[in-house]
Amino acid sequence: MSGVLASGMPVAWLIARAAGLVAFALLTVSVTLGLLVSTKLLGPSRQKTLFGWHQTLIWTALAMLVLHGGAILLDPVMRFGLTAVVVPGAAPWRPITVAAGVVAGYLMLTLAVSFRVRRRISQRRWRLLHYASFPAFALALGHALHAGTDLTATTGLVFAAIALSPVLWLTFARILMPRAARPATPPRAGQGAGSTGRAASSKEPARRGALSA
Residues of the shown chain interacting with another protein in the complex, contacts defined by CB under 8 A: 9, 14-15, 17-19, 21-22, 25-26, 45, 47-48, 52-53, 56-57, 59-60, 63-64, 67, 119, 150, 187, 192-195, 197-199, 201
Cα dihedral across residues 144, 112, 37, 182: positive or negative: negative
DSSP string covering 7-28: TS-BHHHHHHHHHHHHHHHHHH
Residue 134 CB partners (closer than 8 Å, separation 6+): 171
Which of 101, 148 has the CB closer to another protein?
A: 148
Nearer to another protein, 34 or 99 (CB): 34
Nearest to 166 by CA among 28, 27, 24, 26: 28
Residue 6: CB minimum distance to another protein, A: 15
Residue placing its CB nearer to another protein in the complex, 19 or 99: 19
Residue 7 vs 83, nearer CB to another protein: 7
Q: Least separation, in Å, of the C-beta of 90 and another protein?
A: 27
Q: How far is the CB of 65 from another protein (least distance, A)?
A: 11
Of residues 50 and 99, the one with the C-beta less far from another protein: 50
Look at the chain and count its residues: 213
Q: Which of 71, 78, 75, 65 is nearest to 30 (CA)?
A: 65
Residue-wise burial string across 18-44, b where 16 or more C-beta atoms lie within 10 A, e elsewhere = ebbbbbbbbbbbbbbbbbbbbbbbeeb
3-state secondary structure of 39: helix
Distance CA 92, CA 36 (A): 39
* Residue with smaller CB distance to another protein, 166 or 194: 194
- Nearest approach, Cβ of 64 to another protein (angstroms)? 6
Smallest separation (angstroms) from another protein to the CB of 17:
6
Supply the minimum distance, in Å, between the C-beta of residue 33 and another protein.
Answer: 12
